[in-house]
Amino acid sequence: MAKFTFTLNGAPATVDIDPSTPLLWVLRDHLGLTGTKFGCGAAQCGACTVHVDGEAVRSCVYTIDSVEGAAVTTIEGLSKDGLHRLQKAWIEHQVPQCGYCQPGFIMAAAALIAQQPKPSDADIEASITNICRCGTYARIKQAIRSAVMP
């Protein structure tokens, strides 16, 4: 066990935990933030995507010892009121079907547009490699495109 301190959605957080614990389980089981989802547990699907120092990270394989001193943002902290421009676009385009994977998609998309304010379709396809079993990819692309429109 070891103590790790980091910033979580703008507030300080400390956990005393095995260093090999995935960030996902720290968030969900120890800190009660269940918006981030477990999908595959092998970094394949992206349902667990959060930001660490602004970069998208697949938290199911990202151990807590790499988070010491970092700034972590989850879907709960993406915006104060749940109305980040991507979240508004998601509502406008009625993107989710079952919805389970969508927090991961939105976090990946947020990291993309923070670094590339005008991503092309090719940029979106290369950057957003998350998996949606409902097949909502077309609406996800539409929502990202509309979120970055002036």
Contact residues: other proteins, CB under 8 A: 20, 22, 41-44, 55-58, 60-63, 66, 108-109, 111-112, 114-116, 119, 123, 125-129
CB-CB contact of 134 with 95 (8 Å): no
Nearer to other proteins, 69 or 81 (CB): 69
Picking from 91, 95, 90, the residue whose alpha carbon sits closest to that of residue 110 is 90
Q: Report the nearest approach of other proteins to the CB of residue 53 (Å).
A: 10
Q: Report the nearest approach of other proteins to the CB of residue 33 (Å).
A: 19
CB-CB contact of 51 with 72 (8 Å): yes
Q: Report the nearest approach of other proteins to the CB of residue 43 (Å).
A: 4
Nearer to other proteins, 9 or 130 (CB): 130
Q: Report the nearest approach of other proteins to the CB of residue 133 (Å).
A: 16
Helix (H) or strand (E) holding 88: helix 85-92
Nearer to other proteins, 15 or 106 (CB): 106
Nearer to other proteins, 8 or 106 (CB): 106
Sort strands 11-17 and 2-8 into parallel, antiparallel or unpaired. antiparallel
The sign of the CA dihedral 83, 84, 86, 89 is: positive
